[in-house]
Amino acid sequence: MAAWHRQKALEHSAPDKLPIATNHRGITPHMANHKIALIGGDGIGPEVIKEGVKILRSIERRYNLTFDFQDFPWGTDYYFKHGEMMPPDGLDILASFDSIFFGAVGHPDVQDHITLNGLLLPMRRGFDQYVCQRPSVLYPGVASPLKGYDKAGDIDMMVIRENTEGEYANVGGLLYQGHPNEVAVQAGVFTRHGINRVIRYSFELARRRNGKKKLASITKSNAQGFSMVLWDRIFDEIKIEYPDIETESLLVDAACMNFIRRPESFDVVVASNLFGDILTDIGAIITGSVGLAASGNINPEKTYPSMFEPVHGSAPDITGKGIANPIATILSAGMMLEHLGELEAAQSIQDACMTVLRDGETVPADLGGSATTIQIGTAVVNALESAH
């Protein structure tokens, strides 16, 4: 494995590295057992989660840990039967788990705001997962569509998306619905508390990451003269405490151009909920495919379970064809183990994915190959097992 990657692999989630496995219930078991809620969700979600579980079962055989998985059939099929995406006590049920391993939401027959607000966003908000951490890394054996970026690590950034408020706050309403004078009001909610904590988290990450010691803050404060001016002001206040971190503040349109024009100049990037979502799609495509983009929705204090999911959605166009790339989900499982304090096991998942990508024998459809979802999962298990 390339040296850059070994250095980088374990820097994703917990602000304080935990040498011993712990969970948000404060339990530090002798032989760690982690209670994991599985929500495959919609479309290709269940297909990729199945491969993630396959890798985690292999981890159990190699490390001193076990997983108690419990499957929850929530999502749009549940909505068709019950009129809601999950039961009313869904979050209470999930609260007793150490982590949530999630696939995707979205169905062609239901408006996306219903599925998103019925399942994914309640978890992010209800469990105060205010950090959405999304690596955008050019992995070995993967081609970037950008000219001149051809070596592993040529692009290597971590985007931190504020995950509980901002443009996703779901505050607003409709007036005179269906009439010619219909009005929609959608408010963005930006609090000093919310901005402060996600920016601080990002500075801390920039400080401990083996990167360029840089943090870029992305807003649109020329047009959003209240909320994003507050964000810029808080960023300027906090940066004084981190003289070792080089900073830049960019408008989101410039940031989009620069992700393509000079992606190597970014290290850690912090942005609002919506801007972080858009920027990480660019980050995914310049590093090969959204099929490789992992993410963690993190409650850093571990008061509640965190949730790990691929960046991609339910992909109805390829659902059931068995060709979805499960690597984003498998890498998300690695981020989950890191958050749970299982650092060695997390590293081995990361290493196994890199081996498969570098070897180039089992290539998923989104990277130009013809390997099936199951074949890719099996290749990662084989890589993991042959490394031990």
DSSP 8-state class, residue 109: T
CB-based closest residue to ligand GGG: 104
CB of 42 to ligand GGG, least distance (A): 7
Residue ranges in 79-118 that form contacts with ligand GGG under rule CB under 6 A: 104-106, 112, 116
Select from 56-64, 197-205, 220-228, 307-315 the region that touches ligand GGG (CB under 6 A): 307-315
CB of 289 to ligand GGG, least distance (A): 14
Residues in the chain: 388
Are 276 and 159 in contact by the 8 Å Cβ rule? The answer is yes
What is the β-pairing status of strands 306-310 and 294-298? antiparallel
Nearer to ligand GGG, 1 or 110 (CB): 110
Strand partners, 187: 171
Per-residue contact string for residues 218-257; x = within reach of ligand GGG by CB under 6 A: ----------------------------------------
Nearer to ligand GGG, 164 or 227 (CB): 164
Is 277 one of the binding residues for ligand GGG (CB under 6 A)?
Answer: yes
Nearer to ligand GGG, 167 or 267 (CB): 167
Nearer to ligand GGG, 116 or 323 (CB): 116
Per-residue contact string for residues 310-349; x = within reach of ligand GGG by CB under 6 A: x-xx------------------------------------
Nearer to ligand GGG, 263 or 310 (CB): 310
Other Cβ atoms closer than 10 A to 258:
17
Amino acid sitting at position 304: Y
CB of 187 to ligand GGG, least distance (A): 17
Per-residue contact string for residues 125-164; x = within reach of ligand GGG by CB under 6 A: ----------------------------------------
Nearer to ligand GGG, 161 or 209 (CB): 161
Size of the site for ligand GGG (CB under 6 A): 10
Nearer to ligand GGG, 305 or 310 (CB): 310
Are 302 and 23 in contact by the 8 Å Cβ rule? The answer is yes
How far is C-alpha 87 from the geometric centre of its chain's CA atoms?
24
CB of 156 to ligand GGG, least distance (A): 22
Residue 28's Cβ-side half-sphere holds a number of Cα atoms within 13 Å equal to 5
φ/ψ of 125, rounded to 5, equals -80, -45
Nearer to ligand GGG, 238 or 279 (CB): 279
Q: What is the CA radius of gyration of the chain?
A: 20
Distance CA 5, CA 200 (A): 25
Other Cβ atoms closer than 10 A to 378:
18
Select from 28-36, 305-313, 345-353, 371-379 the region that touches ligand GGG (CB under 6 A): 305-313
Distance CA 367, CA 291 (A): 9
**For 73-188, where are the alpha helices, taking DSSP H only?**
76-82, 90-94, 112-115, 121-126
Nearer to ligand GGG, 21 or 123 (CB): 123
CB of 366 to ligand GGG, least distance (A): 15
Which of these, 38, 5, 71, lies nearest to 349 by C-alpha position? 5
B/e letters for 156-169, b = 16+ CB within 10 Å, e = fewer, are bbbbbbbbbbbbbb
Nearer to ligand GGG, 116 or 337 (CB): 116
CB of 62 to ligand GGG, least distance (A): 27
Distance CA 383, CA 388 (A): 9
Distance CA 363, CA 375 (A): 9
Distance CA 331, CA 8 (A): 13
CB of 255 to ligand GGG, least distance (A): 17
CB of 110 to ligand GGG, least distance (A): 12
Residues that bind ligand GGG (CB under 6 A): 104-106, 112, 116, 277, 309-310, 312-313
